[in-house]
A = this chain, B = another copy of it.
Amino acid sequence: METLALPPQATQVGLAVDVAAFAMHGGELQVLLVQRGELPHARDWALPGGFVHPGEDLHEAALRELRTETSVTLEPRHLEQFYTFGAPGRDPRGRIVSVAHLAVLAHGTVDVTGGGHTLGAGWFPAHRPPALAFDHAAILARALGRLRVRLDYAHLALEFLPDTFTLPELQRVHEAILDRPLDKRNFRKRLLAQGLLVPSGERRSGVGRPAQLYRRAKGAKAAAL
């Protein structure tokens, strides 16, 4: 079987992955961007990404690009392919098809620096990003849409937080992703009714009344897509 040849009509294209990686910082939803060091679009900001290696899975490639183009070394809490961008003119270097991925990074993934052939890396407000290279603005917009859908559905909001967290913190994650305020009482009722959260100790924040800490209930895994 290994000896079968590709048929002649098989278009060869460059295969890339791009990653829209999100995290919460300062109560805001932020997206991780890198500053390109090479043409085309040198010095422009872009989503981390690059070419898939031979024999490498798409998922692995996305993980690798995240690690090598930024200083992020921990595994993302969530990584999911969400759309493939393949319009013929999208990259001036030729036919390059990019499989876009959505990643959620653990809380505390703050320090990012460039790696590989990037000039730097940084966090930017996900809903108000700077100008982006290629068609990355469209990719980011679609990533945000997918993130919104996943909120209800799976328990993806928890992946933005440490193992233990307070309900107000979780609410801020939801609000940041939806980009609108939510009612505190209704939010609590809904989340606690789902039975995925169990209380633990107590905690004092810097200011105000201390909040109850929760962790995800054992045996609560994210729903299938």
Cβ A92 vs Cβ B2 within 8 A: yes
Within 8 A of B (CB), among A51-67: 51-58
Contact of A5 with B86 at beta-carbon distance under 8 Å, contacts A13-B15, A53-B11 already known: no
Number of A interface residues, CB 8 Å? 41
Write out the residue numbers on chain B whose beta carbons fall within 8 Å of the beta carbon of A86.
Answer: 15, 52, 57-58, 99
Q: Is the CB of A96 within 8 A of B10?
A: yes
Asked whether, in the complex, the Cβ of B6 is within 8 Å of the Cβ of A87, the reply is no
A192 to chain B, nearest CB (A): 26
Q: How far is the CA of A202 from the CA of B2 in the complex (A)?
A: 61
Closest chain B CB from A15 CB (angstroms): 5
Q: Roughly how many angstroms separate A58 CA and B86 CA in the complex, as a whole number?
A: 6
26 A-B residue pairings within 8 Å (CB atoms): A1-B40, A2-B92, A5-B94, A6-B14, A6-B93, A6-B94, A9-B50, A9-B51, A9-B53, A10-B51, A11-B15, A11-B51, A11-B53, A12-B12, A15-B15, A15-B86, A55-B95, A56-B88, A57-B87, A57-B88, A58-B84, A58-B86, A58-B87, A58-B97, A81-B84, A84-B99
Lowest 5 A-B CB distances belong to which pairs? A1-B92, A12-B12, A10-B14, A58-B86, A84-B84
